[in-house]
Structure 1
Amino acid sequence: MSTSTEKLQNKQPSSRSLVGRDPWTTPLREIDLAHPGIWQANEYLPFLARLRRDAPIHYCADSAVGPYWSITRFQDVMDIEKRTDLFSSEPTIGIVDPDPDYILPMFIAMDPPKHDVQRKTVQGVVAPANLKNLEPLIRQRVCKILDNLPSNEPFNWVEKVSRDLTTQMLATLFDFPFEERNKLTYWSDVATAIPGAGLVDSYEESQKILQECLMCFSKIWQERASKPPGDDLISMLAHGESTRNMPPLEFLGNLILLIVGGNDTTRNSITGSVLALHQNPAEHDKLRADPTLIPSMVSETIRWQTPLAYMRRTATQDVSIQGETIKKGDKILLWYASANQDESAIENADQYIIDRPNVRQHLSFGTGIHRCMGNRLAEMQLRVLWEEILPRFRAIEVVGEPERIYSSFVKGYHNLSVVAHPH
């Protein structure tokens, strides 16, 4: 969630890509999970399984973004997340170190105590009482979106449903001008895009676009700061004791965090739900037969999709884990996408089972102090969506291969071509 998250990965020579290689015979030293190629090609799962089996604390010495450790087992990820004294979230949660001249501090990339007070300032926007108030609005928007979908002809689910619904929700959370809401999605995409991979050509272009985001929100900030505190995110930041005097780049950093967190992850889980149920027709039949399984299906989808593949931590001192010595300053990638497939923690983890026991036992939202603040809002949007899909459609049929984004951080989709079949 930093503009620098993966800015250099496009410079990695194609010969380093693991696409098309045998995950079980590739030498361990050549496995570079951070290269986006296997993620876009949807070939990453066997490589994660290989590391869980043979090198759960794995060192990649040679990558375009420098050396790093990969942590791939569920319990190891959990243990490291809890030790904020040994494994820092600063300076960034992405694999690429930020440009020293353009660091965007954000509370997800902070340690206590600063993290705690900044997070607390905005947490009220997803408090249970506020979510209860938001649900009727979400349902109204879901119904309008679904009722306007084409019938019996192909369309891009990402554009017409996933992106539209989450963008409307973002505009509400920020109390952003509704007619300009697509700017939020654009800024979110720019913030996580790899320069040269389609959306932007350079890191400098990304900075310029995000400066426009900062200018826009700075005007909104001034307006909200001059009024009594409201219940939108900008008002909360403008009036919060720990955030009202944030320097501009810290304001922008937290904006990007909240925009990406409220958009990318939910958007890609919504798309993932359609794909997962299409690929697992028996589970879709189970859901149609018993709609009370929707909340369980939502949790299973979020595990199955794992919308953010990893989080980075940085070692604050030398530390030994299972015989491997991680040096002070080393980068550590906690692979949520692997932990959620770990058979030692989740039975039949490679299967999509919407009524599995302990269905909420997954790491898609992280754990510990950085556990996703908006997890209940994400689940609610997915739940309401499927509560309205089931009475309207006998199937959302996937009619083309999903087009995935080029990233090893955000597990997302550009396009999912579907046909909606009404009852």
Structure 2
Amino acid sequence: MAEAALASVHSSVPDPSSIPLEALNVAQAEIFQANVHGEYFRRLRREAPVHFCPDSQFGPYWSITKYNDIMAVDTDHTRFSSERDIVIGDQPQGFAPPMFIAMDNPKHDAQRKTVQPAVAPQRLNELQDLIRQRVITILDSLPVGEEFDWVERVSKELTTQMLATLFDFPFEDRHLLPYWSDVTTTSETVGVEVDMNERQRVLGECLEYFSRLWRERAAQPMKFDFISLLAHGEDTKDMIDKPEEFLGNLMLLIVGGNDTTRNSISAGVVELNRNPEEYAKLTANPDLVTNMVSEIIRYQTPLGHMRRTALEDVDFRGQKIKKGDRVVMWYVSGNRDEEVIDRPDEFLIDREKARQHLSFGFGIHRCMGNRVGEMQLRILWEEILQRFERVEVVGEPERVLSNFVMGYSKLPVVLHAKA
């Protein structure tokens, strides 16, 4: 049933070479779900690396598809703004929760600096043993020789437990975190038809729950979880009186700490199955795990794009970008730029300069929790190699419908124990 559905999705997506260049719309979520977006972006990098789409469900937009061009836009905070919207679609006028990733300076830096200690190197060193113990508990609970869903039992569970730690969230309610994360990223703004009123209602429940936690933390001495840091921060201690802004930052921190790493955990299993020679390298030399983690994050690219809005008329690579235009940086394309990355469409766990990728962004908005995600992936694969011969994919992976989250909704696997 799943394979038939995926085949149907794939067949409904046109060949990009059959579409006139001026009509090419790479923001259709279906091309990502069908995993054929690579051909679309390859054409744009070759024929129109700075491409204007005049008509889409999101309105007109520019696509920036090459590595160095993306870096140029991402670090140009004078001419390209993050204010209000960082995905291709506009948030509804009546419900657009502000978050620091969708702010320009000085407000961005003040809010980001407040929560940064939760993922600082010293804090991560303190958490390593806890993460390893949780990884071990999860892996040891899995059935060997029986089919199960890797997304549900491993990817989602591990990142949920980590996120609960970063928020100091009641562990017995941790299942709410991935639920709220999925509601946050399932939106018309990224190409998914959804009841936006219901979405707003559910996120209101999220706000209500975290507001209770805020009041508890504000009355206690400061700790190094996200909520305590916000409640005690000089620039954020009044955020509880700005509920939409509090909710916006919750949405950002939940998605940043959950969705991206969750899908990289699944992607690693998928790509090592598709590339058995790379898995052979890994088993022969487990020290490659750290480098492999970076290659997984490049190859999968957890978030496909980020958007900016032009603050003035800009002549960019010979194209006239007008003030107010949407400018979409396609990280998922830049990570396959043949002019910067050698053999970019190959998954190579021993790749030189593996951390030279766009997945974490650049400039003031570079991913704050990048080391957290890398650490979870590294520890997970270290422990997998200790106890399993391999993690075998036994069915077609199911991908989420989104032009933003490059994610997996299901991954059927069978574990094979070490002899």
Q: 1:288 aligns with which of 271, 279, 283?
A: 283
RMSD between superposed Cα atoms in Å:
1.6
2:150–2:412 CA contact under 8 A, matched in 1: yes
Q: Equivalent of 2:197, from 197, 204, 223? A: 204
Q: 2:150, 2:11 → 1: CA distance?
A: 29
On the 8 A contact 1:196/1:202 being kept in 2, the answer is no
Residue 320 of structure 2: SS of its match in structure 1? strand
**Aligned residues of 1:394 and 1:421 also touching (Cα < 8 A):** yes
Task: After TM superposition, give the deviation of residue 26 of structure 1 in Å.
Answer: 1.9
* Alignment pair present for 1:61 and 2:50: no
Q: What's the CA shift for 1:96?
A: 1.4
**Is contact 2:191-2:403 (8 Å) kept?**
no
Give deviations 1:203-246, integer Å, cap 9, x for gaps.
00000000000000001101100111111110000000111112
**What are the Cα deviations for residues 1-35 of structure 1, in whole angstroms up to 9, with x where unaligned?**
xxxxxxxxxxxxxxxx9944222332112211111
Residue 69 of structure 2 aligns with an amino acid whose one-letter code is D
Whether 1:96 aligns to 2:89 is yes
Question: CA–CA distance in 2 between the matches of 1:194 and 1:226?
Answer: 35
Please state if 1:276 is matched with 2:271.
Answer: yes
Q: Does 1:176 align with 2:169?
A: yes
Pick the aligned partner of 2:136 from 143, 154, 157.
Answer: 143
Correspondences of 1:17-416 after superposition (within 5 Å):
19-194=12-187, 201-246=194-239, 247-416=242-411
CA-CA distance at 1:92 after TM superposition = 1.1
* CA drift at 1:191: 0.6
- Distance in structure 2 (CA, Å) of the matches to 1:233 and 1:200: 31
**Relative to 1, partners in 2 of residues 1:416 and 1:197: Cα closer, same or farther, differing over 3 Å?**
farther
TM-score by length of 2: 0.95
- 8 A contact 1:190–1:200 mirrored in 2: no
Opposite residue 331 of structure 2, the aligned amino acid is Y
The CA deviation string for residues 376-423 of structure 1, in whole angstroms up to 9 with x for no partner, is: 000000000000000111110111111000000000010001111011
Partner of 2:409, secondary structure, is: strand
- Provide the aligned length of Structure 1 versus Structure 2: 407
Q: Is the 8 A contact 1:18 1:38 kept in 2?
A: no
Cα deviation code 1:246-304 (max 9, x no counterpart): 21100000000000000000000000000011111000000000000000000000001
Question: In the alignment, is the contact (CA less than 8 A) between 1:173 and 1:233 conserved in 2?
Answer: yes
- Measured after TM superposition, the shift of residue 119 of structure 1 is 0.3
Match of 1:417 in 2: 412
Unaligned runs of 5+ in 1: 1-16
**Per-residue deviation, residues 87-125 of structure 1 (Å, max 9, x unmatched):** 000111011112222121101001111101100000001
- Return the alpha-carbon distance in structure 1 between the equivalents of residues 335 and 217 of structure 2: 41
8 A Cα contact 1:19 1:38, kept in partner? no
Q: How far does residue 199 in structure 1 lie from its aligned partner after superposition? A: 9.9
Q: Cα gap change, 1:34/1:18 in structure 2, threshold over 3 Å: closer, same or farther?
A: farther
**2-structure distance, mates of 1:67, 1:402:** 32
User: What SS does structure 2 have at the residue aligned with 1:344?
Assistant: coil
- Inter-CA distance 199–92: structure 2 relative to 1 (3 Å threshold): closer
1:142 offset after TM fit, Å? 0.4
User: Corresponding residue for 1:7?
Assistant: none
Query: Given that residues 200 and 206 in structure 1 are in contact (C-alpha distance below 8 angstroms), is that contact kept between their aligned partners in structure 2?
Result: no
Aligned match of 1:12: none
1:24 is paired with a residue whose SS is helix
Contact 2:29 2:192 in 1 (8 A): no
Q: Matched residues in 2 for 1:130 and 1:201: separation?
A: 38
Query: Partner amino acid for 2:363?
Result: G
Distance 2:11 2:21 in 1: 12
How much has 1:200 moved relative to structure 2? 8.5
TM-score norm. by structure 1 comes to 0.94
Q: Aligned equivalents of 1:37 and 1:140: distance in 2?
A: 38
Q: Which residue identity is paired with 2:60?
A: P
**Which letter maps to 2:104?**
D
The aligned counterpart of 1:11 is: none
Q: CA-to-partner distance for each residue in 1:38-65, whole Å, 9 max, x for gaps?
A: 0001110010100000000001111011
Matched letter for residue 224 of structure 1: R
CA offset digits 1:348-396 (Å, max 9, x no partner): 1110011111110000000111110000000000000000000111110
